Amino acid sequence: MARWPRDNPLEERLLAIDPRGGRFQDHHVGDLPKLLAPRDLVVVNDAATLPASLLGRTGAGDAVELRLLEAPVEGQARAVLFGAGDWRTPTEHRPVPPRLKVGDRIAIAPESADPVLVSVASVDPERPRLLTVQFAPTAEPLWAALYRCARAVQYSYVKAPLELWHVQTVYAARPWAVEPPSAGRPLRWSLLEAMRQKGVALATLTHGAGLSNTGDPAIDAALPLPERYEVPRATVDAVAAARASGGRVIAVGTTVVRALEGSASDHGGELVAGAGVTAFKLGPGTRRRVVDGVLTGMHEPSSSHFQLLLAFADDALLRRAHAHALSHGYLWHEFGDSCLVLPPRLRVA
């Protein structure tokens, strides 16, 4: 398990999996240009990771953590409530938080000179830790208050607290993600330029990646919840150009797959430019209309992320690949190694 970002991401391991041939091969992230072909298209999620972990106290004085599920819109956002504890405690071992009701308030950073107040706007009746919260007006803009009072979502397996710069991609733009779109973490401008020199195109979209785990079985079973995305016209045109020239569309991360396939699913199979909210989920037998392959992190077969990859390769192949990676020292999770699930080109124009 990778416990901290590594110094040279291009030297991290990359397992290339061919789902059509049932094969896999060891590489490094820096080898990506060699694994792609001219007129292929790589699509990345340019969402920046916002400070989504808010420590505070309820009106009754209980210490809690509020983790946003999305970027606030008009001062309101969905969030998950955690009991007292810090980043060293796995989410599933955190104490159950107090049960809040509509109208209850939480003071974020209550020890600061200017705490931020949020009130409970709604409570999910079946999952009481799942809230919608409303931020009270502040003397400073809400985003400034968030960056002052909140911090990046933390992981119990890392060796020290994470700062926001540890969880950003090099091409991060709008702060829509509450956890990092980590598949793109090892990509560097030098690598993207090497792809371009080979004739591989690059396109972007923005997808608000949500929480990967909450420790609440009822909430975790529903993840990922519907998430906001925006697909630019330039990306739609780039997909069409790749298709017309026999190129493949490679998504960097499952958030990109959800945005592209969710857009196509909502529009009768046609990828359409614009913003939306997608509830699209990947799994065995998923019909993919846009994406041919995916670059993603390494995850255990018991994880929900592993199940998402069954939309790209069969279970037996993925399990063999996982066993190989495990025996060859690959590292797991957000700062771990990568895998590329991508079939060969059927034809080269």
Neighbours of 44 (CB within 10 A): 27
Q: Please tell me the chain's helix, strand, coil percentages from 3-state DSSP, rounded to the nearest 5.
A: 25, 25, 50
- CA 348, CA 129: separation in Å to the nearest integer? 52
Cβ neighbours, 10 Å, residue 264: 21
Contact assessment for residue 275 and residue 228, using Cβ atoms and an 8 Å cutoff: yes
Type of residue at 290: V
> What are the distances in angstroms from CA 170 to CA 17, 46, 206?
25, 9, 14
Q: Which of 227, 72, 48, 47 is nearest to 145 (CA)?
A: 72
Backbone CA torsion sign across 292, 295, 300, 302: negative
Tens of pLDDT along the chain (349 residues) come to 899 999 999 999 999 999 999 999 999 999 999 999 999 999 999 999 999 999 999 999 999 999 999 999 999 999 999 999 988 999 999 999 999 999 999 999 999 999 999 999 999 999 999 999 999 998 899 999 999 999 999 999 999 999 999 999 999 999 999 999 999 999 999 999 999 999 999 999 999 999 999 999 999 999 999 999 999 999 999 999 999 999 999 999 999 999 999 999 999 999 999 999 999 999 998 999 999 999 999 988 877 788 889 999 999 999 999 999 999 999 998 999 999 999 998 754 4
What φ, ψ does residue 57 adopt, rounded to 5°? Answer: -135, 140
Residue in this structure with the two tokens 């592209």, named with its chain if needed: 260
Give me the amino acid identity at 192. Answer: L
pTM: 0.96
CB 280 within 8 A of CB 291: no
Residues 6+ apart with CB under 8 A from 245: 39, 349
Catalogue all structural domains in the chain, each as residue range(s) with its CATH number.
9-49+161-341 (3.40.1780.10), 53-149 (2.40.10)
DSSP collapsed to 3 states, 315-347: HHHHHHHHHHHHHCCCCCCCCCCEEEECCCCCC
Q: Do residues 272 and 204 lie in contact, with contact meaning Cβ atoms separated by under 8 Å?
A: no
Query: Please, which residues have CB within 8 angstroms of residue 314's CB and are 6 or more apart in sequence?
Result: 19
